[in-house]
Structure 1
Amino acid sequence: MSRIGGDVVVETLRALGAGTVFGLPGQHALGLFEALRRAPDLRLISARVENNLAFAADGHARARLDADPHGPVPVTPMIVSTGPGALLTLASLQESRAASVPVLGISSQIPVAGLGGARRGYMHELPDQKAAFEGVVKSVHTARSVSQIPAALRAAWESAATAPYGPVWVEISEDVLLAPATGPAITTATAAPAPPAPFADEVAAAADLLASAQNPVVLAGGGVRRAGAHAELLALAEALRAPVLTTFGGKGAFPWHHPLSGQSWLEDTRSRDFLADADVLLVLGSGLGELSSTYHTLRPRGRLIQVEADAGKLGANHEGLGLHADVRPTLRALLDVLPRRAPDGRAESAVAGLLASVRDRLDAQPLDLERQVMSDVRAALPSGAPSFWDMTVLGYWAWSAWDADDAPMHSAQGAGGLGFALPAALGAAAAGAGSVLAVSGDGGAMYGIAELASAVQHRLDVTWLLVDDGGYGILREYQTSAFGQTHATELARPDFVALARSFGVPATLSDVDSLRADLAEALSAPGPGVVVLPATLRMFEPTHL
């Protein structure tokens, strides 16, 4: 068969740097999947449900960014069909948008003749499919002829890869994907995303504030990780003698056990007050949203400097000196002009006091079970193994307690949807991340249980820890705290061990005493595995805001 529009899509993706494509076929997307069949050098990873496919693409991009934050931005293509297939990706793309993950969604469309509002009764037809995506992704692109495909894909790729990273959407009609391709094969395609650079005047103003500060504190967000600015942040903190706290999305941006590390106990009011007491608070790569500001109760009493690649987040929650820029070049510019302070032990003492107060608060609560489980999960991970967490009680613990040094952590805290952990972990495994851990509760697990079949099909090294407490545990906590009782949180569920084994996945029914050994054994075995822990875990007591 001669070249068709679908081949031009595949050629352009390959030329832009794609090596793996996540895809789930459908009637209108046949031209794309025929082209993928003829491109054996592009690895195709499938899923059983489109929303899980999008989560898998998200996890793949995150794992590649962790592996090489200074390399080409790891835009990950995902291909689905029209209408229902496309719409099922929306909740997952919301997470990618909130967490600034570069996913390139490509969808088929009904024939060109049916676009523009005409209602001709095509299968999967929507009045305006792309309008459904415009409020979720960074940008939407359309190719209505074969000749428009390369430019549309290049523009979308560049949009996804420009800080702040994020998901983008491309639509190509069925008849365009099947139409003959008469132009030359696409072998070169260059996308040139340019990270926003800081203005020199703003850098100078920020440097003046920091140089004169008596009690500077840094809050490092996910933008530090995505920019690969770990070394620059460490150098800045040591030059300023400034404590560093990380947001949940910024975990791993600063060494967990460094004497200046205040870690990430942001749901504790002591951390909130520690940030508020700074005479200059330097916020790097964070919009100071709900979870990073202790549910919008943070009230900085000093000057605030915010460095953020997403212009819409500058000053959205707190006024201050805002620098619309990528974190890494901004920190480099600051390091060029900031004087280096001699250590006097004050910052280290303040950090030690903060962490001691957090420990005292935990020690005063009956949380031995939860702290043991958290410790055992962390200890079971091999060096460098990433983990992906659902919105579950243990995941909420990990936001605060997880030591991400040499153990990158990702969660669905950007948008807060369920079902993220397993498919995202599968995507990371497909990126060559080695042994990968996924953590879910029994409620969230049911969103993605079908992807055990995908794990088997693609032989992906993912161990899934499933904490079975018989319901939506974190919602139990919320409802009980607010109303003293619960409703609609208790769930009927399957025998997860038997169900996993029915997929051909090794599964272990664990307990608290054997969890560490069971997890370590599963993580060391090739291919997928499941460890089920029947346990009801509690959150530490809600902070008094």
Structure 2
Amino acid sequence: MTHDHDLVLRPTSAQTEAALNPPPGRNGGDLVVETLAGLGATTVFGLPGQHALGMFDALRRSDLRYVGLRVENNAGFAADAYGRITGEAAPLLLSTGPGALTSLAALQEAAAASAPVLAIGSQIPTAGLGGGRHGYLHELPDQAASFRGVVKSVHTVRAQSQIPSAIAAAWKSALTAPHGPVWVEIAQDVLLAPASLPVVTGVDATPDELVPRPELTAVAADLLSRAARPAIIAGGGVVRADASGKLRLLAERLSAPVVTTFGGKGAFPWEHPLSLQSWLEDRHTTDFLEDADVLLVVGSGLGELSSNYHTFKPRGRVVQIEADLGKLESNHPALGIHADARLALQALLETVEEREDPTAPERVRDLLARVRARLASQDLGLEQQVLASVRRALPADAPSFWDMTILAYWAWSAFDAKSPNTMHSAQGAGGLGYGFPAALGAAAADPTRPVLAVSGDGGALYSIAELATARQYDLNVTWLIVDDGGYGILREYMTDAFGQATATELTRPDYVALAESFGVPGVRTSPETLEADLAEALASPGPSVVVLPAVLRMFAPTHLG
């Protein structure tokens, strides 16, 4: 009997001829870039280093576009954003030891946010691997061990014939739900050695589908159909799975109010009659969710930020759909469904019974009114004015990337993302320096839209070097820096906790002059002129910097009871 896949494996005469006569001058690095191209990659990020030069030399012979950043961590953030925007695995090429280790904080963010990043690093020569020779530059006793606790999978290559399969396996791992970063390392001598193997052409790395078990979705559908007060928490898994349309259909069929987590911004329309928006750091919202008799949690592990700092105590039945097995029922007992959000929502749509509840929109309006009243009592007009100005200046379809800064904390709760997969922040792992390099990666992914980056002055200092990258590749990113003289949120935390702040005040550069020294136009703005200045910068092609000197405050914590 002949199977279809048997036919695929038979080379044509042209393929045979090409395989028997590979082009001269190739090395192990060519096998890397040929495999990436065969998998569908078009853009790679990274930073060269001594042991990785074989890979970078091979880029010269390929059609892959290379975007080189100035710091490995920032290259990781750029790849993270590229993966989020495109849904493809973003290749990140790194060198050994210090270069590899410098990327770890970015890969931690990619892991926490389920962003597909394919990190490919070099290694010392094979003679030094596994306890052989010692004393190589950049050598680590066990480089792979440094990545194992961060990435989804680790792949070590010791021979050229292993390269295509190792990279294909890593690609598949990165794009199988939940998406995430993976690590491939290839010894220096393997990358540099002449390659006699044929050009890599046929590479199959189709991700596995994570399908829900039908007996579980049947029970979930029954619970939701019979619920008196159903509600939905939509997390980043809905965005990653491109499932926001199915989420909306299900919410409307069930008349179930929906709150989106900070990682799930845009998963549900902000102004929809059933939208509870994103006010998770609000006791009124927490009470509303606790009162649901059936709570559907889709694509969220209900971690610290999504559970109002673990004060959320649901009283009804919880149904949790989660692609990351380790997060399933990790924080709350539930009917746990291990599945991709899109496939699970589709299964529910096929089985739930429609329920009508004319009171649901009224309960949503009442909750949002109470949230607004609470904010109105706190003298936070400046903060709301600044955030509203950013929203009006930013085109509806333009993506934004937010660093860990007070304005971003506001945006988590109060910013209308307008559509799925447009608002991103570093709230997964919470490291500083994410916003600007991530925005560069997004601009590389889609040069047709302007991209906004938002940082505080503290986070901006992590990424200043990438102004050179923005200028070199003429990337269409506007960087809003809110300058409050230090680490503003830490200043506020410490003052609240100890009566005064320590180690939070910073000497800063003149950001406008600094930007202009890189050939990037800069402007100093004010809360009153922010909207006009930001809109003008976003409308101008290429990179730009807008500096807003302002001390913003957080709204009062509402998770304390």
Normalising by the residue count of structure 1, what TM-score does the alignment of the two structures yield? Answer: 0.97
Query: Aligned equivalents of 2:553 and 2:281: distance in 1?
Result: 15
Question: Partner of 2:31 in structure 1?
Answer: 8
In 2, Cα distance between equivalents of 1:34 and 1:79: 12
Question: 2:307 pairs with 279, 289, 293, which one?
Answer: 293
- Indicate whether 1:93 and 2:115 are aligned: no
CA distance in 2, matches of 1:195, 1:402: 33
8 Å contact from structure 1 (residues 110, 173) kept in 2 = yes
For 2:446, the equivalent position in structure 1 comes to 432
Question: Is 2:79 aligned against 1:48?
Answer: no
Separation in 2, partners of 1:281, 1:24: 45
**Counterparts of 2:439 and 2:246 in 1: how far apart (Å)?**
29
Whole-Å separation in 1 of the counterparts to 2:455 and 2:80: 17
CA contact (8 A) 2:225 2:355 kept: no
Instruction: Look up the match of 1:164.
Output: 178
Amino acid corresponding to residue 479 of structure 2 in structure 1: W
Give the aligned residue type for 1:468: D
Letter in 2 for 1:467: V
2:382 pairs with 357, 364, 369, which one? Answer: 369
C-alpha distance in 2, partners of 1:374/1:488? 27
- What's 1:500 paired with? 515
- Secondary structure of the residue aligned to 2:551 is coil
The separation in 2 between residues aligned to 1:402 and 1:61, in whole angstroms, is 23
| Equivalence for 1:472 | 487
Q: 1:35 & 1:360 partners in 2: Cα distance?
A: 60
Which residue in 2 is equivalent to 1:71?
A: none
- How far, CA to CA, are the matches of 2:399 and 2:332 in structure 1? 33
| 1:521 pairs with 2:536 | yes
User: Could you list the per-position Cα deviations for residues 301-351 of structure 1 after superposition, in whole angstroms to 9, with x for gaps in the alignment?
Assistant: 000000000010011000110000011111111111111123x42111110
Give the match for residue 394 of structure 1: 407
Q: Which runs of 5+ in 2 are unaligned?
A: 1-23
Equivalent residue of 1:532, what SS? strand
Please list, as runs of the form range in 1=range in 2, the aligned pairs for 1:298-313 lying within 5 A after superposition: 298-313=312-327
Q: Write the distance in 1 (CA, Å) between the matches of 2:46 and 2:504.
A: 34
Deviation string 1:68-100 (CA, Å, 9 cap, x unpaired) is: xxxxxx100000100000000000100000000
**CA deviation after TM superposition for structure 1 residue 383, in Å:** 2.8
1:466 alignment partner, SS class: strand
Contact map agreement 1:107 1:171 (CA 8 A) in 2: yes
- Say which SS state the counterpart of residue 117 (structure 1) adopts: coil
Q: Take 2:285 and 2:262, find their aligned partners in 1: how far apart are those partners?
A: 13
Matches within 5 A, 1:192-231: 192-231=206-245
Determine the C-alpha separation between the residues in 2 that align with 1:478 and 1:119.
Answer: 49
Post-superposition offset of 1:119 = 4.9
Mapping 1:77-92, distance limit 5 Å: 77-92=91-106
Query: 2:338 is matched with which residue: 306, 311, 324?
Result: 324
Deviations 1:439-458 (A, max 9, x none): 00000000000000000001
Amino acid at match of 1:61: G
Distance in 2, Cα, partners of 1:539 & 1:182: 61
1:354 partner letter: L
Q: Who is 2:459 aligned against?
A: 444
2:188 is the counterpart of 1:174: yes
Aligned partner of 2:82 among 54, 60, 71: 60
Preserved CA contact (<8 Å) 2:400 2:423? yes
Answering whether residue 547 of structure 2 is matched by residue 532 of structure 1, we say yes
Deviations 1:200-252 (A, max 9, x none): 11011111111111000000000001111111111111110000000001111
Superposed CA deviations along residues 378-435 of structure 1, whole A, max 9, x for unmatched, are 1001231000000000000000011011481100000000000000000000001520
What is residue 18 of structure 1 aligned with on the other side? 41
Q: Secondary structure at the match of 1:59?
A: helix
Q: 1:416 aligns with which of 404, 425, 430?
A: 430
Partner in structure 2 of residue 379 of structure 1: 392
**Whole-angstrom CA distance in 2 between matches of 1:231 and 1:21:** 31
Q: In structure 1, how many angstroms separate the alpha carbons of the residues matched to 2:419 and 2:261?
A: 17
- Off by >6 Å, runs of 4+ in structure 1: none
Name the counterpart of 1:68: none
Q: CA deviation at 1:149?
A: 0.2
Give the CA deviation at 1:118: 3.1
Work out the CA distance in 1 between the residues paired with 2:208 and 2:161: 26
Read off the aligned partner of 2:186 and give its amino acid letter.
I
Counterpart of 1:392 in structure 2: which amino acid? Answer: T
Q: Is the contact between residue 117 and residue 128 of structure 1 (CA under 8 Å) also seen in structure 2?
A: no
**1:232 corresponds to which letter in structure 2?**
K
Deviations 1:229-277 (A, max 9, x none): 1111111111100000000011111000000000001011111111111
CA–CA distance in structure 1, aligned partners of residues 46 and 286 of structure 2 = 43
| Structure 1 letter corresponding to 2:192 | L
Deviation at 1:195, TM superposition (A): 2.3
Paired residues of 1:119 and 1:127 also in contact (CA < 8 A):
no
1:489 match:
504
Q: Deviation at 1:485?
A: 1.2
* Contact 2:396-2:418 at 8 Å conserved across structures: no
Contact 2:269 2:419 in 1 (8 A): no
Task: Give the aligned residue type for 1:34.
Answer: D
Contact 1:463–1:530 (CA under 8 A) maintained in structure 2: yes
Question: Where does residue 416 of structure 2 map in the other structure?
Answer: 403
Q: Distance in 1 between matches of 2:505 and 2:220?
A: 51
- The separation in 1 between residues aligned to 2:131 and 2:266, in whole angstroms, is 48
**Correspondence for 2:56:** 33
Letter in 2 for 1:56: A
**2:523 aligns to what SS in structure 1?**
strand
Gaps of 5+ in 1: 66-73
Deviates more, 1:119-128 or 1:131-140: 119-128
Summarize the alignment of residues 128-143 of structure 1 with structure 2, pairs less than 5 Å apart: 128-143=142-157
Q: Kindly, what percent of the aligned residue pairs are identical? A: 66
- Aligned residue number for residue 124 of structure 1: 138
Greater Cα offset, 507-516 or 191-200: 191-200
